Chain A
Amino acid sequence: MTGPVVHDVYSLPVDDNVNPYAFSVDLNGQWFLQKGKMIAYYGQIDFQGIGHGRLDRLIAGSFHSPLHAADWVVAEGQGKMLLADRAFDVNSFDLDEGNLTIRSGNLLAFQPSLSLKQSIIPGFLTLIGTGKFVAASNGPVVFMEPPIRVDPQALVGWADCPSPCHHYDHQYLRGFLGGLRAHTGIGGASGEEHQFEFVGAGTVLLQSTEQLMPELATGGVPTEAGVPGGGGHVPQSGSQLPQLPGNLGSLQRRFGL
């Protein structure tokens, strides 16, 4: 067994993982990071909330969902910065003129050369352009190629492939017993009647467990006809009402409970 490794400013890796749970950024310029994900830094680094004065121009270039910008800070300066998130596995990914969509709670930081947009799938963010970003996942990320159907909770994101569609196990739901179970929850549902289905060319990123990181409230979409989720309902981070089993959950919502 080896003892703890002592790092200093020179021995810290350059834009690479220190261990599976911490990532070292060699900062020379600007990076965007989600609030509270920096754990330590060397050098001269300023952390500024977005939306103040001279950084406004930056937002215009990199953020395209202004409501969401409040969750981010700009790290500016020179030095080494360590990023981590609640001992989740951290990984960096390189995008080269590409696009990648990721669950909002999983994205930790990204280079300003990427631009961040809101995906039309609620709760997901899309990064477009060239650059590096850092994302957390519960357990190591597994890369899969479509066609594949994925449990909604196990999905981290996807790259270069068309957005997913919902898949329901219709044969099961249509059957009498299955329908009864799915609608009342009596007898138990398998919990696997619904998946996201990916087709086409690209890569799907899965996390190996179904435990989710608390979802960040990404900015609500404008209330406008034709915009999915345009009802103006923004999911509150982390807190969800306990749902009744089966489709009674939606009744609950209809009654405004």
Chain B
Amino acid sequence: MPFTVLNSRMVEARIGPGQRMFSQRGAMLAYRGDVAFTPNIQGGQGGVGSMIGRRIAGEATPLMTVEGNGTVMFGHGGHHVHVVDLTGETLYVEADRLLAFDGSLQQGTMFMGSQGGVMGMVRGQVTGQGLFTTTLKGQGSAAVMAHGGVIELPITPRGPVHVDPQAYVAHRGDVRNKLSTALGWRDMVGRGSGEAFQLELSGQGTVYVQASEEKL
């Protein structure tokens, strides 16, 4: 079910019988109709196996299942909310940035090392994402949180996009990313520009960037 954007920090979702969505625990602001919120120990979809996988990967954010018939308003912590509509692609996002998402989306966990090997793992450490990230795939929408507003940068095969790792929020599509470094002797003596690490994204897709270098 699509999200309706109420303002920059609040979205509204319609939920109908037989539908299901997941949201971060405690992120409900208000609701109309007959809606039930159940804490989800497993932290999302899949069986116990997926749960263990997420626990190990550190991508187990407390989630709750939202079911029923009505409209629910979501928002959390004063963060800006950005709605991403997926039509078959995969969204790569940190689990704690996910405010709410459709139950129709397939949730998975990805090892950073599988995108760029050792450098991918280094990237995870630098960006504070850790070694794992969450993937959402399929048809549906997801509401992603960011500190400050979100801009979308298209990634085209013509050239890579460089993003500050701290301002990186999420990306989607068929994108390869690697950490590019511009470390010089200045950085070693503490006189660097502060932009020694950049995230280089290439391929076909979109990257979401927040207008702040603060983490959630």
The chain A residues found within 8 Å of chain B, CB to CB, are 138-140, 142, 144, 147-151, 154, 169, 171-172, 178, 181, 187-193, 195, 204, 206, 208-211
Distance of A64 Cα from B41 Cα, bound (Å): 49
Tell me the minimal C-beta distance from B19 to chain A in angstroms: 18
Q: Contact between B41 and A188 (Cβ–Cβ < 8 Å)?
A: yes
Most chain B beta carbons < 10 A, residue from A171, A193, A210: A210
Distance of A206 Cα from B72 Cα, bound (Å): 13
Per-residue contact bits, chain B 30-51, to A (CB 8 Å; 1 contact, 0 not): 1110001111010000000000
Q: Contact between A206 and B30 (Cβ–Cβ < 8 Å)?
A: yes
Closest to B7 in A: A140
Per-residue contact bits, chain B 82-103, to A (CB 8 Å; 1 contact, 0 not): 0000000000000000000000
Is the CB of B13 closer than 8 A to any CB of chain A? no
Q: Contact between A208 and B39 (Cβ–Cβ < 8 Å)?
A: no
Distance of A144 Cα from B76 Cα, bound (Å): 18
Known contacts being A169-B36, A189-B39, A192-B64, is A151 close to B9, with CB within 8 Å?
A: no
Q: Contact between B36 and A209 (Cβ–Cβ < 8 Å)?
A: no
| A-side interface mostly | loop
Q: Contact between B7 and A142 (Cβ–Cβ < 8 Å)?
A: yes
Distance of A191 Cα from B61 Cα, bound (Å): 14
Q: For chain B, residues 50 to 64, give those with C-beta under 8 angstroms from any C-beta of chain A.
A: 62, 64
Closest to A150 in B: B30
Is the CB of B79 closer than 8 A to any CB of chain A? yes
Residues in chain A near residue B62, CB distance under 8 A? 188
Task: Enumerate the 5 nearest inter-chain pairs by beta-carbon distance, A residue then B residue, closest first.
Answer: A191-B26, A208-B10, A154-B29, A192-B37, A208-B9
Is the CB of B77 closer than 8 A to any CB of chain A? yes
Q: Contact between A211 and B30 (Cβ–Cβ < 8 Å)?
A: no
Q: Contact between B9 and A139 (Cβ–Cβ < 8 Å)?
A: yes
Q: Contact between B6 and A210 (Cβ–Cβ < 8 Å)?
A: no
Q: Contact between B78 and A139 (Cβ–Cβ < 8 Å)?
A: yes
Q: Contact between B39 and A148 (Cβ–Cβ < 8 Å)?
A: no
Tell me the minimal C-beta distance from A235 to chain B in angstroms: 21
Is the CB of B1 closer than 8 A to any CB of chain A? no
Residues in chain A near residue B41, CB distance under 8 A? 187-188
Q: Contact between B79 and A190 (Cβ–Cβ < 8 Å)?
A: no
Q: Contact between B9 and A171 (Cβ–Cβ < 8 Å)?
A: no
Q: Contact between B64 and A190 (Cβ–Cβ < 8 Å)?
A: yes
Known contacts being A190-B64, A192-B64, is A139 close to B73, with CB within 8 Å?
A: no
